[in-house]
Structure 1
């Protein structure tokens, strides 16, 4: 008997060549700064002398009343900021995507462009425009509400502690609602026509078809959008900084982890910057985001795959 011939597979070096530039850029812009942030959180500096501190910075963040009060206030505001997006942005985005997927709707392309356009605008422009719109002195909101008989509901929403965070959150929802709309719209278009035709043969049309057929099929896309919303909201900074300033007023009512990190790391007004405590806050933010994303990937997404067709 002749011995079996072993065919050596060629080594695909071209894959590494093509991946190397992207991997290099990702390492420089993402991995190195992350590693440096984690390293800074383990050190402290006094009289320009840096020394290893272990987890003492984390103990200060959670144990010192001054730091702990500011941190928990920012974290709770961040959770509320995220919950408003989940309760308003994603359901409305799903509803808009469902309406735009109706074949008989005219001007769908124009509607999609109009709704998605705020997403492409600068956050500086968005923050400045909405501060003008909501201003009690020169904004158009009081006159519009007076025209429809609702002037009594108007108030300086950005200047009141009870309403400032809600107002900024809704502005953020208005800006970014095009993202879940387009992702859900793409998921709806990817549903096979055979499934839709079978549902129509069974008498499922309109809203009933969406709830019983389309919605279960786009649940993976909805889960992905929820995770992306969480990551974006817990990395948020720009809109609140533009509209409410670095102090996230009034009285830190709109302070979230991003603005808290900015003031701690770079300093503001009479507060000196502390890069080690700032890195500690950034590390906590990273761990929060990592834990939630890992839970989604390892638990929720696996359960969703069991029900996929």
Structure 2
């Protein structure tokens, strides 16, 4: 009877039919270019011919002083760019979500919309607008600080090597803080009412309820936000390019892996493009992101599962 049932079981071809468009598009847009980039990083143009050099391009990138200085500078800036987002964007996003999820807060829908709107704006608009705001010549930032008696603190932050990258990181935080806010907000709303009611019966309310009850329950969502922040920041390019240009000034102080790869691959001004070295940089970016994602999936996510319900 079991054998007969197994033989007459219908084949669910509709599953493959529905998945085929997404798989084909993802393969054409993501998988094939990825393997093409990895393959390109193993070759070099010699005597107008492409020659296989193995890992020599990576050895040049890490060891040649002409390349290594720029690469390690871009990687260091990228790490700082990520740290700013982790220390500023995500905690503030969690705080905003906790405030907006309070049942007695009025106009919460308006606040959520206002905070999330910058997320849908173009990088070009955001970069150009903040360049105007922070301009020491015609920007409104000096006047606004003067109104509260803090004009002495103003400086041309985008034009100083010490502050340019931090200023751009905070601009990026302003633009994308709505994403962690909305994800945490959704996680807070998904907590069963029975848990909240039980906590209130035990006298746990207010801030103590958030720290002792809600925060452990939303740790998986915080983990997802952290890994999305990691991937997004190590893929960053647009904001730096629109505000500081491909040279990521001043004096490469805002240069990150994305802008470094762009200049190397496509060339800029007097620099001739080198697609093989550009592919090597892109491959390093891929492996960095892959290592971070694997660390989260196999090292952190398993520990967070105990808080899921």
TM-score, length-scaled by structure 2: 0.98
SS of 1:155's equivalent in the other structure is coil
- Matches of 1:153 and 1:21 in 2, distance apart? 55
Cα offsets for 1:233-275 (capped at 9, x unmatched): 0000000000011000000000000000000000000000000
Counterpart residue number, 2:11:
11
* Deviation for aligned residue 1:47: 3.2
**Offset from partner CA, 1:181-200 (integer Å, 9 cap, x none):** 00000000000000000000
Task: Trace 1:182-221 onto structure 2 (pairs within 5 A).
Answer: 182-221=182-221
State TM-score, norm by structure 1: 0.98
Structure 1 position 254 matched with structure 2 position 254: yes
| 1:127-142 mapped onto 2 (5 Å cutoff) | 127-142=127-142
TM-aligned CA deviation for residue 282 of structure 1: 0.3
Cα gap change, 1:40/1:193 in structure 2, threshold over 3 Å: closer, same or farther? same
- C-alpha contact (below 8 Å) 2:220/2:307 kept by paired residues: no
What is the CA–CA distance in structure 2 between the aligned matches of 1:99 and 1:130, rounded to whole Å?
27
- Please give the alpha-carbon distance, in whole angstroms, between the structure 2 residues aligned to 1:120 and 1:148: 31
Q: Structure 1: where are the runs of 5+ without partners? A: none
- What 5-or-longer segments of structure 2 have no aligned partner? none
Mapping for residues 76-225 of structure 1, pairs under 5 Å: 76-225=76-225
Partner of residue 72, structure 1: 72
Aligned length: 307
Encode CA deviations 1:119-166: one digit per residue, 9 max, x unaligned.
000000000000000000000000111111101100000000000000
Provide closer, same or farther for how the CA distance between residues 26 and 4 of structure 1 changes in structure 2, counting only shifts above 3 A: closer
Partners of 1:239 and 1:47 in 2: CA distance: 38
- Find the aligned partners of 1:114 and 1:256 in 2 and give their Cα distance: 30
Matches within 5 A, 1:50-61: 50-61=50-61
Query: RMSD over aligned Cα, in angstroms?
Result: 0.9
Shift of 1:308: 2.7
- Separation in 2 of the partners of 1:5 and 1:217? 46
Deviation at 1:46, TM superposition (A): 2.3
Matches within 5 A, 1:287-302: 287-302=287-302
Structure 2: distance between partners of 1:105 and 1:4: 60
Residue pair 2:261, 2:282 contacting (<8 A) in 1 also: yes
Cα 1:4/1:287, change in 2 over 3 Å: closer
**Cα-to-partner distance string for 1:6-60 (whole Å, 9 max, x where unaligned):** 3022111110011111110001000010010000000000232101010000000
State the shift of 1:304 in Å: 1.0
SS in 2 for 1:6: helix
CA distance in 2, matches of 1:67, 1:289: 21
Q: Does 1:35 align with 2:25?
A: no
- In 2, Cα distance between the equivalents of 1:260 and 1:196? 49
Query: How much does 1:299 deviate?
Result: 1.1
In the aligned structure 2, how far is the partner of 1:150 from the partner of 1:5?
82
Looking at structure 1, the residues matched to 73 and 191 of structure 2 have their Cα atoms a distance apart, in angstroms, of: 43
Q: Distance in 2 between matches of 1:96 and 1:121?
A: 20
In structure 2, C-alpha distance between the alignment counterparts of 1:48 and 1:221, rounded to whole Å: 51
Structure-2 change in CA distance of 1:199 and 1:58 (3 Å): same
